Chain A
């Protein structure tokens, strides 16, 4: 491959620009992490790296300020909600993509229309139902109302429609039952989109602040975002501790993103895919 001078120049410019942009974007995260390791009085010192890094901030937020408990709550709520929501959306997506039943298009259109209503509008009616069921202050209330995910259904359906129906027919001819077709053909072929949906729903539930605050009245059920908000308003000035708390809240998402980048990016372009 012969590179012309112009091409090399273009490449250099492009990478320089991208590097600068990456530094600008990543700097706040960098600052957050570095500050979390500093001594309380050193939060605004000139040095970039702490001369005497400490884990004290993490120890204090996890034990004294209850973040260990909040973290466990968040993990339980976000992972179980993401798991079940993905599971249901996958099954529903299969039905809407490959099955025929009376009024299918109408039902699908109706469900899609519900996406037009801002999520905030559901908060009060959902809360009223939770309260009526007596589910206040329970994991049930924090998880169950969000298991039916229309956006997930839409995402799954669009993807599954691209899987050739011939495959399913062949399997049926070979004697596969409905459940077997779903499990051995649809799910394996849809793994990329299933992973994407899991990550998106996990991220949503991990960050969900208002709902978890509204359905809980006890600190032992608070999740990381609620705990962090409480901590922030109570301690305006404890920057090193605040940053340690923020690190803990970002950690799972950052780790997930690191290992599953591909699926996040596919999730963004998947909507553009024509069904």
Chain B
């Protein structure tokens, strides 16, 4: 994996060098799109493409499907030989990398400020890198609290009332945990992204305002992570889902080992199919209220495209109110266009309405090129604190010091 990363880096340098030469295809009537939609999304996306073609009857649009896992190296390789598509759908963390290495088209001239105002601010902010707009979101998500209503009833808790604060979560957790049967109140993943709701609800920031230092080891950050550690060590209501070889959180939720987990909107449809009676609530509030993290995917246009106008028009079309309304109601996803949010009523989409509400207090993660590397530095330190080999403060301090070095070297 590390090897793949460093080679990816080398490839991107090559892109940066070649990107200056300009050029591109002359084929004026073809747009190629590389995307990673799943089987439910793919047919809907094709419909969107068809309706875009209604206004542009002369053009051809090639939609190519890639597995999510291999999309990054494939795009990087294509960039070195200028065989990249016009448009690609990329993860939010990959956008910064592509933008930083000068592979993308600056969308500034193509997206009006009126249109930007229509886009959910947290989703739009993931498309910026160094104050320039490099993409438009097609999908956004964040974590919420999933809970098993059956377990709630059995423990004498109100199945319509998920814990509103972390303190409440602890007292619920004590009632839900049954160690003899291997059932725990909550199961939590370790990685930084999955821990961000803890940090954000405590008001801890990720990077300093100038983006040069990691400040997760602030008193707020320490308190936030101490809570996560305490859920496992002190209150014994967390089942060790973060452990290597432990039951991962979504699996444990499915087979009734964990009564509560954090998860995103993508899990709703599949959980419904398993027949579990579950509810979704906001992330429990900490000293700074409720808050969540932001993930998702963005559409980007590559700078070597022959049709910057057409390609960016397609991006605007996908993020438009009309398309997003259709997309959200058909697939149960959070609309990236705020004007389409009213399509999500809590009557028709009880789960999704919670996510739409939660996204109002979502905090975007800072766009830095080395986000995956930051995760790599952070995760083992957090793991050490969780299993008790390091104190929370020591773990966060050494992680922050390493991340500072990484940021300085960028």
Contact = CB atoms under 8 A, between A and B. Distances in A.
Given A124-B11, A127-B77, A234 B64 contact: no
Nearest to B11: A124
A131 B68 CA distance: 23
Interface string A93-121: 00000000000000000000000001011
A230 B35 CA distance: 11
A51 interface: no
A230 B78 CA distance: 19
Given A41-B274, A44-B255, A214-B77, A234 B38 contact: yes
Nearest to B271: A237
A219 interface: yes
B14 A233 contact: no
A13 B70 CA distance: 46
Contact of A124 (B80, B250, B267): B80
Which of B74, B77, B251, B254: most chain A CB closer than 10 A?
A: B77
B331 interface: no
Given A128-B80, A217-B64, A120 B270 contact: no
Nearest to A45: B255
- Determine chain A's interface SS by DSSP, over half rule: helix
Interface string A20-47: 0000000000000000000001001000
Given A120-B7, A124-B14, A219-B65, A237 B73 contact: no
Contact of B39 (A41, A219, A234, A237): A234
Interface in A211-251: 213-214, 217-219, 226, 229-238
Contacts of B245: none
Contacts of B81: 124, 127-128, 131
A44 B253 CA distance: 11
Interface string A76-96: 000000000000000000000
Contacts of B251: 44
Contacts of A120: 3-4, 7
B64 A229 contact: no
Contacts of A41: 274-275
A209 interface: yes
Contacts of B73: 123, 210, 213-214
Interface string A172-216: 000000000000000000000000000000000000011001100
Contacts of A238: 270
Interface string B63-87: 0111111100110011011010000
A231 B270 CA distance: 15
Contacts of A236: 250, 266-267, 270
Interface string B82-96: 010000000000000
B270 A230 contact: no
A226 B66 CA distance: 9
B80 A213 contact: no
B347 interface: no
A213 B83 contact: no
The 7 closest A-B pairs by CB, nearest first: A234-B38, A237-B270, A233-B68, A230-B67, A229-B67, A44-B255, A213-B70
29 contacts: A41-B274, A41-B275, A44-B254, A44-B255, A120-B3, A120-B7, A123-B7, A124-B77, A124-B80, A127-B81, A136-B83, A209-B70, A210-B73, A213-B66, A213-B67, A213-B70, A213-B74, A214-B74, A219-B65, A226-B67, A230-B65, A230-B66, A231-B67, A233-B67, A234-B68, A235-B39, A235-B270, A236-B250, A237-B271
Interface of A: 41, 44, 118, 120-121, 123-124, 127-128, 131, 136, 209-210, 213-214, 217-219, 226, 229-238
Interface of B: 3-4, 7, 11, 14, 36-39, 64-70, 73-74, 77-78, 80-81, 83, 250-251, 254-255, 266-267, 270-271, 273-275
